[in-house]
């Protein structure tokens, strides 16, 4: 399926508004016949798509590939390479534990264990109810408050294992 | 529109003539400041100042570098030029600060911080208290990064004006070569030389690429510059463009820095509107445009060939050099790749000359270096010191020593590519060469301090885990070799290592160093080699005595309850594994077979009745 009209129709089944929003963004790019040049817009298109859909399911990948004139394999290759992109649904609350060096020396590994135990999911997983995902990230640059945990956009600093239930109960 | 150097001059003069309020309060609103709660303080400062009709201007600035004391604010008396810096400001202290601001006295019961830096460009010199020198961070924490006039008022775009109208591209190249500026991203390649290579190429198109993909975990220098002083990078990129004959700049920035991205976008927009970027800059024949490209989380993209592939929209895999990017880079055109901090030095060099720059730092490494000082140090923060400053001065003078007065064990520089430096090497004067001799490297400037509670084998394992995660998988030594290194370290931490494991670690590390394709792979065994060289006794303790000195490696630990136990049951109630038995007022005991060695019992015990062996 390399026809952008068909792939957009497929995408609209997921959500017509979101499909429209992504398509409008792709239309706004100065795309040409030159595949190599179009490829330069791939990463930013995927950022936009993930912002809209929260993750990158295959219908989204196919549509981006079609609009940019790239192969699906090339698009998937990029998604799987960069840690920022995910093709699996994420929870409504993304719990990101910083595992950068400063947080590591201040005990981030203990936090990882405690969150895993408390939520019953492993690092990199999403709970079955779709509420929480647990991920590690490398340095948000708030090293003075290490160890740091980010829940969506909210930053918690100097986190101890005792604060875990409190942080979870903030997610309502 | 500022369309001539004369207009820029008169515009700058007008800005300085504008009457200033009696007092300016600078509020640190970088990522860490915001996370520490500066926003409500900023709001209250504004409303308090307004309601009192005080002659006070509140300016939102980038990071002052005082991460340990966020939220931090600086009260500047514009008549006398004197300033007071307050740290750990609380909302309830705001009225007192506003009250005393105009009087030039310190507010009672607030934490006052002594400025530990000087500004070489203002003809200030070092003192015993002021050992930091701010060139790169000259404006961060002093100007509002979202207001172009603030930048222009602080000598902004004067360097660009100077090169466009008073210098030939060759003179610019000569100045930068003569200044001895070296790449601040890690390797320390002479910047001027890199530019000259690109300038010598004949091509219809050349690119200036700014590496803002600060991937070293625990480093945040570039973020501070981009958030606090974005125009200084834009101006320097345009100067580079003029020197090498390029009209297009690209900033490759990591997506994890949303605030920096936002401020860069604002800055580019402002500069274009004023004619300081875009077509015919300042009315000259030179045009230069800058666009932003986003990273997506890959450490290897800090390597220049990988970065170029990522900008082209491909997987960020490195390729063999040569050809160097200066010859064949982005879209196969000559490309200069420099990192943010390198660019942030350029304008000061052009304004003050190469001789001025060479007076700062050491002969082989002129200038300053910004470090992100973090880990077990009292004053975590951004530090900019002249090259040649000793590690001891940075950690114990600027950093205030080790947290909780524990014993210093090591300092790690250079991130996952660097190494650990021991106590007896703390008096080393740091520059590119001296750090290399110690088995570490300058890297981008992460500096993590470790104390006696850190196990060096575990630290090496941590960095290897990072490299494993980030290896692009293209070459075998890095993809498979690092995995094997990691497994060997794991074995040692679990108490399954032998003396042979150590020899294997050394052999394999050296093979990876010699054979990996890119900088990431070639330097990935550094944490192993340097900890082995400096802390071999810790490795041996793990192997021969099955003992982890720092008490970190769980498999080698054992928690036991001693006779100080009064039977308060606190440990039993807190034990996540429910493996502590004992009744009230009786000595408790731990079931070793079920103990997960989390250490909670030891943390909660108020009677020092839990021993870790």
CA angle B597, B601, B605 (to 5 degrees): 150
pLDDT of residue B357: 97
Count of A-B CB contacts under 8 Å: 131
For residue range B533-584, list pLDDT tens digits in order: 999 999 999 999 999 989 889 889 889 999 999 999 999 998 988 999 998 9
Local confidence band at B598 (pLDDT 50, 70, 90 cut-offs): confident
Same domain, B423 and B467: no
Residue B11 within any structural domain of the chain: no
Instruction: CATH number of the domain at B226, please.
Output: 3.40.50.11540
Give contacts of A117 with chain B, Cβ < 8 Å. 576
The pTM is what? 0.92
Distance CA B500, CA B405 (A): 37
Local confidence band at A167 (pLDDT 50, 70, 90 cut-offs): very high
Are the beta carbons of A102 and B466 separated by less than 8 Å? no
How many CB atoms lie under 10 A from the CB of residue B297?
Answer: 19
How many CB atoms lie under 10 A from the CB of residue B320?
Answer: 9
Distances (CA, A) of B378 to A161, A165, B28, B295, B406: 22, 28, 20, 33, 11
Distance CA B323, CA B321 (A): 5
Of B220, B316, B600, the CB nearest to A141: B220
Local confidence band at A119 (pLDDT 50, 70, 90 cut-offs): very high
Distinct helix (H) and strand (E) counts, chain B: 25, 20
For residue range A31-81, list pLDDT tens digits in order: 988 889 999 999 999 999 999 999 999 999 999 999 999 999 999 999 999
Segment B266-287 shows an average pLDDT of: 96
Give contacts of A161 with chain B, Cβ < 8 Å. 600
Residue B8 within any structural domain of the chain: no
> B599 is in which domain, residue-wise?
558-612
Residue B325 within any structural domain of the chain: yes
Same domain, B605 and B590: yes
Stronger pLDDT, B196 or B558, i.e. the higher one: B196
How many CB atoms lie under 10 A from the CB of residue A27?
Answer: 9
Strand (E) positions, B399-531?
Answer: 408-413, 419-422, 446-451
Instruction: CATH number of the domain at B564, please.
Output: 3.30.70.20
Same domain, B182 and B38: no
Residue B243 within any structural domain of the chain: yes
Same domain, B210 and B328: yes
- A106-A111-A113-A117 Cα dihedral, nearest 10 degrees: 160
Same domain, B521 and B565: no
Same domain, B286 and B373: no
Segment B460-470 shows an average pLDDT of: 92
Contacts for B182 with CB less than 8 Å, ≥ 6 apart: B188, B189, B190, B191, B365, B432
Same domain, B429 and B493: no
pLDDT of residue B244: 97
Residue of B397, B417, B349, B410 whose CA lies nearest to B160 = B349
Distance CA B330, CA B325 (A): 7
Instruction: CATH number of the domain at B532, please.
Output: 1.20.1440.230
User: Is B381's Cβ below 8 Å from some Cβ in A?
Assistant: yes
Same domain, B336 and B373: no
B28-32, B400-404, B601-605: lowest mean pLDDT where? Answer: B28-32
Residue B270 within any structural domain of the chain: yes
The domain total for chain B is 5
For residue range B408-423, list pLDDT tens digits in order: 999 999 888 899 999 9
Could you tell me the two tokens for B4?
A: 């001539």
CA angle B169, B173, B175 (to 5 degrees): 115
Same domain, B502 and B393: no
Contacts for B432 with CB less than 8 Å, ≥ 6 apart: B182, B188, B364, B365, B441, B442
Does the pLDDT at position A153 exceed 90?
no
User: Is B28's Cβ below 8 Å from some Cβ in A?
Assistant: no
For residue range B367-382, list pLDDT tens digits in order: 999 999 999 999 999 9
User: Is B296's Cβ below 8 Å from some Cβ in A?
Assistant: yes
Q: Closest residue of B to A78, CA-based?
A: B315
Residue B318, Cβ density class (10 Å: 0-12 exposed, 13-18 middle, ≥19 buried): buried
Q: How far is A139 from chain B (nearest CA, A)?
A: 5
Residue B433 within any structural domain of the chain: yes
Give contacts of A102 with chain B, Cβ < 8 Å. 217-218, 374-375, 380, 448
**A63 touches A11 (CB < 8 A):** yes
For residue range B303-350, list pLDDT tens digits in order: 999 999 999 999 999 999 899 999 999 999 999 999 999 999 999 999
pLDDT of residue B543: 96
Q: How far is A141 from chain B (nearest CA, A)?
A: 5
Give contacts of A83 with chain B, Cβ < 8 Å. 296-298, 469
pLDDT of residue B579: 92
Same domain, B154 and B269: yes
Interaxial angle between packed helices B221-228 and B230-244, expressed in degrees from 0 to 180 and rounded to the nearest 10: 100
Does the pLDDT at position A172 exceed 90?
no
**A37 touches A69 (CB < 8 A):** no
Please name every residue paired with B113 in a beta bridge, in sequence order, or none if there are none. Answer: B85
ipTM rounded to 2 decimals: 0.91
**B74 touches B59 (CB < 8 A):** no
Q: Please state the three-class secondary structure of A115-149 as a single string.
A: HHHHHCCCCCCECCCCCEEEEEECCCCCHHHCCCE
pLDDT of residue A1: 57
What three-state secondary structure class fits B61? strand
């Amino acid at each position: 399926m390399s026809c952008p009209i068909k792939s957009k129709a497929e995408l609209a089944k997921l959500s017509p508004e979101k499909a429209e929003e992504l398509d409008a963004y792709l239309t706004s790019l100065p795309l040409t016949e030159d595949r190599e040049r179009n490829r330069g817009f791939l990463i930013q298109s995927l950022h936009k798509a993930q912002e809209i859909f929260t993750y990158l399911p295959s219908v989204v990948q196919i549509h981006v590939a079609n609009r940019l004139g790239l192969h699906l394999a090339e698009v998937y290759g990029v998604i799987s390479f960069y840690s920022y992109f995910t093709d699996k649904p994420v929870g409504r609350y993304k719990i990101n534990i910083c595992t950068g060096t400063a947080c590591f020396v201040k005990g981030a590994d203990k936090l990882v264990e405690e969150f895993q135990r408390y939520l019953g999911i492993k690092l990199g997983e999403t709970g079955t109810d779709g509420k929480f995902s647990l991920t590690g990230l490398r340095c948000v640059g708030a090293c003075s408050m290490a160890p740091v945990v980010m829940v969506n956009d909210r930053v918690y600093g100097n986190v101890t294992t005792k604060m875990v239930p409190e942080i979870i109960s903030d997610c309502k | 529109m500022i369309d001539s150097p004369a207009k820029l001059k008169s515009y700058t003069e007008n800005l300085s003539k504008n009457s200033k309020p009696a007092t300016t309060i600078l509020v640190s609103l970088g990522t860490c400041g915001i996370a520490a709660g500066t926003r409500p303080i900023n709001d209250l400062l504004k409303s308090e100042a307004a309601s009192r009709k005080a002659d006070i201007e509140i300016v939102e600035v980038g990071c002052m570098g005082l991460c340990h004391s966020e939220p931090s604010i600086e009260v500047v008396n514009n008549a006398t030029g004197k300033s007071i810096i307050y740290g750990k400001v609380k909302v309830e202290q705001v009225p007192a600060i506003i009250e005393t601001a105009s009087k030039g006295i310190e507010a009672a019961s607030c934490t006052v911080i002594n400025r530990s830096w000087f500004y070489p460009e203002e003809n200030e010199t070092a003192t015993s208290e002021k050992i930091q020198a701010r060139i790169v961070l000259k404006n961060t924490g002093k100007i509002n990064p979202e207001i172009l006039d603030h930048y222009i008022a602080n000598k902004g775009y004067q360097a660009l004006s100077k090169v466009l109208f008073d210098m030939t591209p060759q003179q610019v190249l000569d100045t930068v070569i003569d200044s001895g500026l070296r790449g601040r991203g890690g390797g320390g390649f002479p910047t001027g030389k890199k530019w000259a290579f690109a300038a010598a190429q004949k091509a219809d198109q050349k690119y200036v690429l700014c590496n803002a993909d600060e991937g070293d975990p625990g480093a945040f220098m570039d973020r501070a510059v981009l958030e606090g002083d974005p125009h200084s990078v834009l101006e320097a990129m345009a100067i580079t463009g003029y020197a090498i004959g390029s009209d297009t700049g690209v900033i490759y920035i990591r997506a994890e820095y949303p605030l920096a991205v936002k401020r860069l976008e604002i800055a580019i927009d402002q500069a274009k509107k004023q004619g300081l970027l875009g077509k015919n800059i300042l009315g000259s024949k030179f045009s230069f445009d800058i666009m932003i490209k986003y990273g997506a989380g890959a450490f290897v993209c800090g390597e220049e060939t990988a970065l170029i592939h990522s900008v082209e929209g491909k997987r960020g895999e490195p390729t063999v050099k040569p050809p160097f990017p200066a010859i064949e880079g982005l879209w196969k055109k000559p490309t200069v790749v420099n990192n943010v901090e390198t660019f942030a030095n350029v304008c000061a060099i052009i304004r003050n000359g190469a001789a001025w720059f060479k007076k700062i730092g050491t002969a082989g490494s002129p200038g300053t270096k910004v470090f992100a000082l973090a880990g077990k140090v009292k004053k975590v923060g951004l530090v900019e010191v002249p090259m040649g400053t000793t590690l001891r001065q940075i950690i114990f003078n600027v950093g205030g020593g080790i947290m909780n007065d524990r014993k210093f064990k090591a300092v790690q520089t250079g991130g996952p590519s660097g190494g650990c430096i021991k106590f007896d090497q703390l008096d080393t004067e740091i520059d590119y060469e001296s750090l290399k001799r110690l088995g570490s490297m300058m890297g981008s400037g992460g500096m993590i301090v470790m104390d006696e509670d850190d196990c060096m084998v575990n630290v090496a394992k941590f960095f290897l885990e990072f490299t494993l995660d980030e290896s692009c998988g293209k070459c075998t030594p890095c993809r498979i070799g690092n995995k094997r290194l990691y497994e060997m370290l794991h074995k040692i931490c679990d108490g399954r290592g032998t003396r042979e494991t150590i020899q294997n670690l050394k052999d394999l590390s050296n093979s990876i160093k010699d054979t990996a394709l890119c900088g990431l792979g070639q330097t990935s065994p550094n944490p192993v080699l340097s900890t082995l060289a400096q802390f071999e006794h810790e490795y041996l303790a793990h192997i021969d005595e099955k003992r982890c000195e720092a008490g970190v490696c769980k498999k080698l630990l054992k928690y036991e309850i001693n006779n100080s136990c009064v039977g308060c049951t606190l440990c039993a109630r807190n034990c996540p594994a429910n493996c502590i038995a004992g009744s009230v007022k009786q000595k408790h005991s731990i079931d070793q077979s079920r103990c997960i060695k989390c250490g909670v019992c030891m943390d909660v015990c108020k009677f020092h009745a839990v021993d870790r062996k």
